[in-house]
């Protein structure tokens, strides 16, 4: 019920509006998952291909990401996050093609938990690699 006749009630929402909202949510989820996948791949490639050369007196030392174990773990974790994102993108595309809605609570919790694991792992590895690089200075 709305005061002054402004707003909508549950009775005013039609099936076509729900389909439009559902489609927008699916497109937004697909877009965000593609963005996450691209950024994870970009992070892995940037860290994996980066190298620095430092001259100490007359000796040149070329540093690569393999010299620090934290960066190796960061590249691996970014690759795993990208692989998980690809799997979720495929799931999103299949659900858009089939037109099915996810009403299974246990599956929704598995997907939510799976989304949190790469985020927490990458966050911890970033802090760990920062602390290692700061203490080595």
**What's the pTM value of the predicted model, to 2 decimals?**
0.65
pLDDT given for residue 15 in this prediction: 55
Of 31, 43, 45, 46, nearest to 88 by C-alpha is 31
- Tens digit of each residue's pLDDT (9 = 90 or more) over 51-98: 888 888 888 888 888 887 878 888 888 888 888 889 888 888 888 888
Residue 58 DSSP SS3: coil
Residue 52 DSSP SS3: strand
Cα separation, 81 vs 92, in Å, equals 16
In the chain, where the domains are located: 13-135
Confidence band (pLDDT; 50, 70, 90) for 14?
low
């Amino acid at each position: 019920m709305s005061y002054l006749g402004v707003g909508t009630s549950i009775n005013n929402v039609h099936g076509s509006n729900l389909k439009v909202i559902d489609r927008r949510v699916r497109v937004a989820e697909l877009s965000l998952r593609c963005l996450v996948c691209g950024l994870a791949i970009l992070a892995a490639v940037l860290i994996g291909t980066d190298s620095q050369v430092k001259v100490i007196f007359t000796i040149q030392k070329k540093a690569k990401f393999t010299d620090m174990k934290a960066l190796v773990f960061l590249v691996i974790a970014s690759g795993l996050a990208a692989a998980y994102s690809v799997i979720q993108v495929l799931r999103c595309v299949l659900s858009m093609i089939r037109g099915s809605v996810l009403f299974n609570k246990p599956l929704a919790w598995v997907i939510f938990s799976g989304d949190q694991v790469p985020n927490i792992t990458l966050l911890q590895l970033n802090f760990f690699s920062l602390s290692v690089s700061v203490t080595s200075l």
